[in-house]
Amino acid sequence: MPYTADNIEITIATNTAIIATDYGTSGAVGFSLAHAQHAKVAWGDENNTYRTTESTPLPVKISGFTGSSLVGVTGTIRGTGDFYVRTNPTIPLIIKGSTFTSDAPVSITGTVQGVTNGIPVGVTGSVSILGSNAVYGITGAVPIAITGGRSLTYGTDSVRVFGDVGICGGFVLSSSNSSIKVYADGGSTYFNTKVFSGTGTAIGASGDALKVAVTNAGFTFNVTVAATVGVTNADSPLRIQGYTGSNGTPVTIRGQNNDAVAVVAYSTLPVGISGTVEINDTDLISSIEGLKTNINTVSSNAAYVSDIFNLVNSSGNGAKVVVNSITKPTKIIHGQKTITSTSTLLSNDAIRTGITIKSPISNTTDVYIGNSLGVSTTTGYILNPGETIYIEISSASGIFARTLSGTALITYIGS
């Protein structure tokens, strides 16, 4: 009996395989009592074979009928992605907008250019140029002419003229809206000018100075002298002399910051003080008297220093200290603290003798002990699980702890 179910099962060496088929398909001659197999399409040549996918689609060539050079396409053709429209070099490409008044005209963005030796594009109707678009002609073509339109205005237009400009009929300058800019030879803004006296004689000049002749008998000047005036004399010593009259004021000489003036001589100067030198500064005299009193006190107590020295060195081994008793703490401090990988203060308790810190054996990470919140895994003292450390310190507020990672428990006791 024929196998009439879809999909044929094949057994190969105890292994089975199923081939997808349809049995008794209709619409085709010879398949009503047979299996039609489902198959994937592959394509290629004698050297390469490609499975038909979206990236390697099945190539299809559309050819016209024998004797006809055109292939007719019915319906709308749409392009996706980069869609190029090309034409035969001998056949022009014609683009037409819709003739319906409700449709928008064809918009062109960018540069519109003709081709070399091409036919100019004819424009019928009004042409509007919006924005700051420049209109250029082609090389060797007739410039674009504008007939009618607006006149030039000084507020928005400027005209550059090359070559000589002639004026016919005269031109009258107005002080309110006219100005003239004059340039010297070569474009420089500076040019030579002759200055004449009242008799028509040119005034001479030497370098950049203007010679002025003083002809009247005398002048009166108002001169402002600055607070700081410098006087120099390069050829001979500069002499300073105060006023010698009975009401004159002597010249006062001071060094920098009111200090003494340093005197330098090229040979030895004999300097001596004769007579009695008096000190009239009350503060200086008081300080000297106080120093004298303190020196007398030290002198009278000097014997005690000698006695202390003899007692310390009586045995030849230095000072001996005997401790009679030690005041012991009356209570202990203790506690447990869970810490993380962020540095944490141990406690604020005061301590007199010291404190013992322990990392229980049940901890699964190392503990790091330090003296600040900045203690890290590279600077802290490491306590492995089960280890203990004793620290002599007066307050637990100077001890900080953290873990390598995660959490850990530490216990402490001190007095």
Query: What pLDDT digit, counting tens, does each position of 80-92 carry?
Result: 777 677 667 777 6
Strand partners, 15: 12
Percent of the chain with pLDDT over 90: 14
Q: What is the pLDDT of residues 300-320, one digit of tens each?
A: 777 777 777 777 666 666 666
Q: What is the pLDDT of residue 24?
A: 79
Count of beta carbons in the 10 Å neighbourhood of residue 341: 16
Indicate the pLDDT class of residue 141, thresholds 50, 70 and 90.
Answer: low
Q: What is the pLDDT of residues 233-276, one digit of tens each?
A: 767 777 777 666 666 677 777 777 767 777 777 777 777 777 78
Q: Is residue 46 part of a domain?
A: no
Q: Is residue 190 part of a domain?
A: no
31 contacts: CB under 8 Å, gap ≥ 6: 24, 25
Q: Is residue 246 part of a domain?
A: no
- Can you give the CATH number for the domain in which 385 is found? 2.60.120.770
What's the mean per-residue pLDDT of the chain?
Answer: 77
The number of distinct structural domains making up the chain is: 2
Domain housing 4: 1-39
Q: Is the pLDDT assigned to residue 389 strictly greater than 90?
A: yes
Q: How far apart are CA 393 and CA 349, in angstroms?
A: 11
Q: What is the pLDDT of residue 212?
A: 67
Percent of the chain with pLDDT over 70: 71
53-57, 116-120, 394-398: lowest mean pLDDT where? 116-120
Higher pLDDT among residues 1 and 290, named by residue: 290
Indicate the pLDDT class of residue 133, thresholds 50, 70 and 90.
Answer: low
Q: Transcribe 201-243 into DSSP letters.
A: PBPPEETTEE-----SS------PPPSS-----SSSPPP----
Q: Is residue 349 part of a domain?
A: yes
Mean per-residue pLDDT, 286-302: 83
Q: Transcribe 311-326 into DSSP letters.
A: HHTSSSS---------
Mean per-residue pLDDT, 50-76: 76
Q: Is residue 292 part of a domain?
A: no
- Residue 16: enclosing H or E segment and its boundaries? strand 15-19
Q: Is residue 338 part of a domain?
A: yes
Q: Is residue 274 part of a domain?
A: no
Q: What is the pLDDT of residue 304?
A: 74
Q: Transcribe 351-395 into DSSP letters.
A: -SS-EEEE--TT-SS-EEEESSTT--TTTSEEE-TT-EEEE--SB
Q: Is the pLDDT assigned to residue 101 strictly greater than 70?
A: no
Q: Is the pLDDT assigned to residue 388 strictly greater than 90?
A: yes
Indicate the pLDDT class of residue 190, thresholds 50, 70 and 90.
Answer: confident
Question: What single letter denotes the amino acid at residue 20?
Answer: A
Q: Is the pLDDT assigned to residue 371 strictly greater than 80?
A: yes
Q: What is the pLDDT of residue 364?
A: 93
Q: Is residue 101 part of a domain?
A: no
Q: What is the pLDDT of residues 105-114, one digit of tens each?
A: 666 666 666 6
Q: Is the pTM of this model over 0.75?
A: no
Mean per-residue pLDDT, 180-198: 73
